[in-house]
C-alpha cells in the first residue's frame, strides 16, 4: 500500500476507521484506570476532607499489614526473579542440548504453562495440607524412601516464611516455560560456528558457557528479568490461595477492598505497586547495561 | 555446540549426567500432574488414611468422584457460566480486534508504531492494580456483578493478544492478492470478506482459542466483579470457594476438568504461543 506522509487527516480516518473501536476500548479503559486510581487514592472515605489528600497513603504507612506486605513482596521479587531465570536457563539448556525427541521434550516442558495457575495453587494447597498432606507425611518419615526430618507436622500456610516459600514454588513451577522459551530463542540464535571455534582453541565447557553463551543471550536474560520481575511484583493467585493472612501487595489490595471495603487504601497500594514496578524496571535496565559493558570489555 | 556434538558423540559419563538431568526435569514437570490425577481418582480411604502415609497410588482407584461431579447441578451451573463468559469474550474481542488487526497488519498507516506500543503498554499494566478502578467504574455503569461486566473485563485483557496474533495473520498474506482483487473491481469490504479474512482464519482461530483460555482460567477480574453473586461464578471462582469445605479428591477432579481444555488447546496453538512469548507480547 502506498503511504503518503502528507495525506490529509480525513483520508487517514477513512483508511483507518476499523481500528477505532478497539483503540477506543483499550485506551479509554487505560485513561479511566489512571484517572480513577489517582482520584481514589487521593481521597478518603470520610467526606470531611477536601479532595486531594494524602491521608490514604499516610494511613497506609502506619499500617503494620502494609509493612509486612511490602517487605514480603520485595523479598518475593528479589528471590523469585533470579530463581525463575535459573530455572528457565536450566530447562532451556536441557532442550538445547537434546537431539533425541527434542520437540516432544520441549512440549512436555511447556505443560506447566498449560495448567491454570489456580489449579497449580490448588494442588499445592492439597499437597501442603496441615496436618495431613503428602509433604508433611514425607518429612515426618512416613515413606521408607525418605528420612524423617521433622517430629511434628508443619502448618505451611500459617507460617509467613513457609507460606511465601510454597507460593514462590508454585509461581516458579508454573511460569518456568515462559523463561525457558525466551532463553531458548536466544540460544537458538547463537551461531554454532562460534562453539566450533572455541572448542578448537581449547576452551573448557565452563569457559564456553561464561564467555560465549551468557554474553550472547544477555538480551534474552534481560527480557526474562524484566518480564518476570513485573509478574513477581503483581503476584496474586498463589499467595491468595496458599498463604492465608501472610499477604503480598496483590493480596493486600483484595484484603483492603473486599475485606475492609476501603477502596481508597486499595488504590493507594495499587499506586505503590506500580511505582515499585517502574523503579525495579529502571534498576534492572541500568544494571544490565553495566553488566553488558563489563562482559564486552573483557 | 549442536554441530560439533553431532559429529563427536558425547562421552558416556556426560551422556549419563545429561540423560538423568532430562529425566529429573521431566519428573519435576510431570510429577505434580500425576499427583493431581492421582488425587482425583482416590477413594476416601486413600485420603483420610488415619495416620498411615498417603499412598502414592490409591488403594482403590475409582472414578466415582467424577460421576458425582457430573451429577451435581451446581457444577453444571458454574460450567455454563464459564462457557458463556468465555465464548462471549471471544465474540466481543474478535469483533473489536479483527478489524484493528486488519488495518495494522495490511496498511502502513502513520502512527502505527505508537499505536502498537500503546497496545503493549495496556497489557503490561498490572491487572491487580487496574481491577479496583474497573470495579468502581462498572458499579457506576451498573454492570458490576453481571455477565456483561466480566465479559467486558476479559475482552480488555484479551484484546491486545487478539490484535497482535491477528496482525501476524494478516501480514502473512501476500500483498498481490489484495491488489489483484482491487484491479478486478472489488471494493475494500469485498476484498476483506472474500480474500483476506478466509486466508487469515488459521491465525485468527489461534487468537480465538487463546481468548477462550484466558477467560476460562482468569481469576482476578472474575473474582472482584462477581463476588457476592454466586450464581454468576465461573469454574475458577467455584473451585476457590469450596477449597476448605470439600474433600481433596473433589477439588482435584474439578482441577482436572479445569485444566483439560487448556492443555488440549495449548498444545494445538503451541506454535503461536511460542511466537507470542518470544516477541514479548504474551506472558
- Same domain? For B81 and B210 the reply is yes
pLDDT of residue A144: 72
pLDDT digits (tens, 9 = 90+) for A18-44: 889 999 999 999 999 999 999 988 887
Q: Do A1 and B175 touch (CB under 8 A)?
A: yes
DSSP per residue, chain B: -HHHHHHSPPPHHHHHHHHHHHHHHHHHHHHHHHHHHHHHT--GGGTS-TTSPPPSS-SS---HHHHHHTT-HHHHHHHHHHHHHHHHHHHHHHHHHHHHHHHHHH---TTHHHHHHHHHHHHHS-HHHHHHHHHHHHHHHT-TTSHHHHHHHHHHHHHHHHHHHHHHHHHTS-HHHHHHHHHTT--HHHIIIIIIHHHHHHHHHHHHHHHHHHHHT--HHHHHHHTT-GGG--HHHHHHHTTTTS-HHHHHHHHHHHHHHHHHHHHHTHHHHHHHHHTTS--
Domain-ending residue, one of B39, B64, B89: B64
Mean confidence (pLDDT) of chain A: 87
Domain assignment present for residue B283? The answer is: no
CA-closest candidate to residue B128, choices A84, A33, A170: A33
Q: Do B127 and A185 touch (CB under 8 A)?
A: no
The chain B residue lying nearest A135, using CA atoms, is B54
pLDDT digits (tens, 9 = 90+) for B95-134: 999 999 999 988 888 888 888 888 888 888 899 999 999 9
Domain-ending residue, one of B44, B64, B84: B64
Q: Per-residue pLDDT for B65 more than 50?
A: yes
Domain span at residue A107 reads: 53-297
- pTM of the predicted model as reported, rounded to 2 decimal places: 0.88
- Same domain? For B54 and B76 the reply is no
Question: CA of B99 to nearest chain A CA: how many angstroms apart?
Answer: 5
- Same domain? For B44 and B90 the reply is no
Question: CA of B53 to nearest chain A CA: how many angstroms apart?
Answer: 6
Domain span at residue B49 reads: 2-64
The closest CB to that of A33, out of B109, B133, B224, belongs to B133
Q: Do B2 and A192 touch (CB under 8 A)?
A: yes
Write the CATH number for B235.
Answer: 1.10.3720.10
Q: Hey, of B50, B65, B124, B132, which one would you mutate to test binding to chain A, going by the most A CBs within 10 A of its CB?
A: B132
Domain assignment present for residue A214? The answer is: yes
Domain assignment present for residue A190? The answer is: yes
- Same domain? For B152 and B246 the reply is yes
- Same domain? For B43 and B113 the reply is no
CA-closest candidate to residue B7, choices A192, A93, A90, A203: A192
- Same domain? For B15 and B93 the reply is no
pLDDT digits (tens, 9 = 90+) for A251-296: 999 999 999 988 999 999 999 999 999 999 999 999 999 988 888 7
B-proximal residues of A, 150-189, CB under 8 Å: 173, 178, 181-182, 185
Residue pair A173/A123 in contact (Cβ under 8 Å)? The answer is no
The closest CB to that of A126, out of B28, B220, B251, belongs to B251
Q: Which long-range contacts (CB under 8 A, 24 or more apart) does B242-247 make?
A: B243/A122, B243/A125, B243/A241, B247/B44, B247/B47
What is the three-class DSSP state of A157?
coil
pLDDT of residue B5: 47
- Same domain? For B9 and B136 the reply is no
- Same domain? For B46 and B136 the reply is no
For residue B2, name the pLDDT band (cuts at 50, 70, 90). Answer: very low
Q: Do B270 and A110 touch (CB under 8 A)?
A: yes
Domain assignment present for residue B127? The answer is: yes
Mean pLDDT across B136-149: 93
Domain total of chain B: 2
Q: Do B109 and A233 touch (CB under 8 A)?
A: no
pLDDT digits (tens, 9 = 90+) for B173-185: 888 888 888 888 8
pLDDT digits (tens, 9 = 90+) for A198-212: 878 877 777 777 778
Q: Per-residue pLDDT for B45 more than 90?
A: no
Domain assignment present for residue B222? The answer is: yes
Write the CATH number for A67.
Answer: 1.10.3720.10
Question: CA of B60 to nearest chain A CA: how many angstroms apart?
Answer: 18
Q: Do B29 and A111 touch (CB under 8 A)?
A: yes
A221 or B52, which is more confident? A221
Mean pLDDT across A53-66: 87
Domain total of chain A: 1
Amino acid at each position: 500500500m502506498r503511504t503518503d506522509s502528507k495525506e490529509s487527516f480525513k483520508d487517514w480516518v477513512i483508511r483507518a476507521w476499523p481500528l477505532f473501536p478497539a483503540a477506543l476500548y483499550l485506551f479509554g479503559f487505560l485513561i479511566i484506570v489512571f484517572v480513577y486510581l489517582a482520584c481514589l487514592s487521593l481521597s478518603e472515605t470520610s467526606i470531611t476532607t477536601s479532595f486531594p489528600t494524602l491521608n490514604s497513603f499516610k494511613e497506609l504507612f502506619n499500617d503494620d499489614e502494609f509493612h509486612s506486605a511490602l517487605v514480603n513482596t520485595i523479598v518475593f521479587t528479589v528471590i523469585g526473579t533470579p530463581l525463575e531465570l535459573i530455572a528457565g536457563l536450566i530447562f532451556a539448556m536441557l532442550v538445547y542440548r537434546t537431539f533425541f525427541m527434542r520437540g516432544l521434550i520441549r512440549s512436555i516442558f511447556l505443560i506447566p504453562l498449560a495448567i491454570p495457575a489456580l489449579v497449580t495453587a490448588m494442588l499445592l494447597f492439597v499437597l501442603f495440607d496441615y496436618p495431613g498432606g503428602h509433604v508433611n507425611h514425607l518429612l515426618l518419615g512416613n515413606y521408607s524412601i525418605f528420612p524423617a526430618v521433622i517430629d511434628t507436622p508443619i502448618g505451611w500456610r500459617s507460617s509467613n516464611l513457609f507460606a511465601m516459600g510454597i507460593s514462590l514454588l508454585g509461581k516458579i513451577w508454573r511460569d518456568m516455560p515462559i523463561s525457558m522459551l525466551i532463553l531458548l530463542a536466544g540460544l537458538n540464535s547463537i551461531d554454532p560456528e562460534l562453539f566450533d571455534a572455541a572448542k578448537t582453541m581449547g576452551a573448557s565447557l565452563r569457559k564456553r558457557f561464561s564467555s560465549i553463551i551468557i554474553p550472547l543471550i544477555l538480551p534474552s536474560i534481560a527480557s526474562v528479568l524484566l518480564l518476570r520481575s513485573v509478574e513477581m511484583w503483581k503476584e496474586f493467585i498463589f499467595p491468595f490461595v496458599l498463604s492465608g493472612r501472610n499477604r503480598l501487595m496483590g493480596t493486600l489490595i483484595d484484603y483492603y477492598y473486599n475485606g475492609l471495603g476501603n477502596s481508597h487504601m486499595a488504590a493507594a497500594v495499587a499506586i505503590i505497586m506500580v511505582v515499585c514496578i517502574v523503579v525495579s524496571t529502571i534498576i534492572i535496565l541500568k544494571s544490565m547495561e553495566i553488566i553488558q559493558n563489563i562482559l564486552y570489555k573483557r | 555446540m549442536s554441530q560439533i556434538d553431532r559429529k563427536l558423540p558425547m562421552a558416556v559419563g556426560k551422556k549419563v549426567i545429561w540423560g538423568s538431568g532430562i529425566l529429573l526435569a521431566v519428573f519435576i514437570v510431570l510429577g505434580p500432574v500425576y499427583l493431581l490425577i492421582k488425587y482425583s481418582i482416590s477413594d476416601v480411604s486413600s485420603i483420610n488414611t488415619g495416620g498411615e502415609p498417603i499412598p502414592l497410588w490409591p488403594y482403590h482407584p475409582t472414578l466415582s468422584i467424577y460421576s458425582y461431579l457430573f451429577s451435581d447441578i451446581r457444577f453444571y451451573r458454574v460450567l455454563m457460566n464459564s462457557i458463556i463468559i468465555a465464548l462471549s469474550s471471544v465474540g466481543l474481542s474478535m469483533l473489536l480486534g479483527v478489524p484493528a488487526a486488519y488495518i495494522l497488519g495490511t496498511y502502513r498507516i502513520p502512527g502505527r508504531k505508537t499505536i502498537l506500543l500503546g497496545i503493549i503498554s495496556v497489557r503490561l499494566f498490572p491487572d491487580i492494580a487496574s481491577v479496583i478502578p474497573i470495579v468502581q467504574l462498572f458499579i457506576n455503569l451498573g454492570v458490576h456483578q453481571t455477565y456483561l461486566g466480566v465479559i467486558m473485563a476479559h475482552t480488555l485483557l484479551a484484546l491486545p493478544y487478539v490484535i497482535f496474533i491477528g496482525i501476524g495473520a494478516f501480514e502473512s498474506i501476500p500483498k498481490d492478492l489484495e491488489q489483484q482483487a482491487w484491479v478486478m473491481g472489488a471494493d475494500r469490504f469485498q476484498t476483506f470478506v472474500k480474500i483476506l479474512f478466509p486466508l487469515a482464519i488459521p491465525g485468527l482461530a489461534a487468537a480465538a482459542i487463546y481468548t477462550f483460555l484466558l477467560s476460562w482460567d482468569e481469576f482476578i477480574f472474575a473474582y472482584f466483579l462477581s463476588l457476592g453473586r454466586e450464581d454468576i461464578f465461573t469454574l475458577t471462582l467455584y473451585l476457590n470457594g469450596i477449597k476448605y469445605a470439600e474433600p481433596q479428591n473433589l477439588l482435584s477432579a474439578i482441577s482436572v476438568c479445569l485444566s483439560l481444555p487448556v492443555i488440549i488447546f495449548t498444545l494445538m496453538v503451541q506454535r503461536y504461543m511460542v511466537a507470542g512469548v518470544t516477541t514479548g507480547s504474551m506472558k
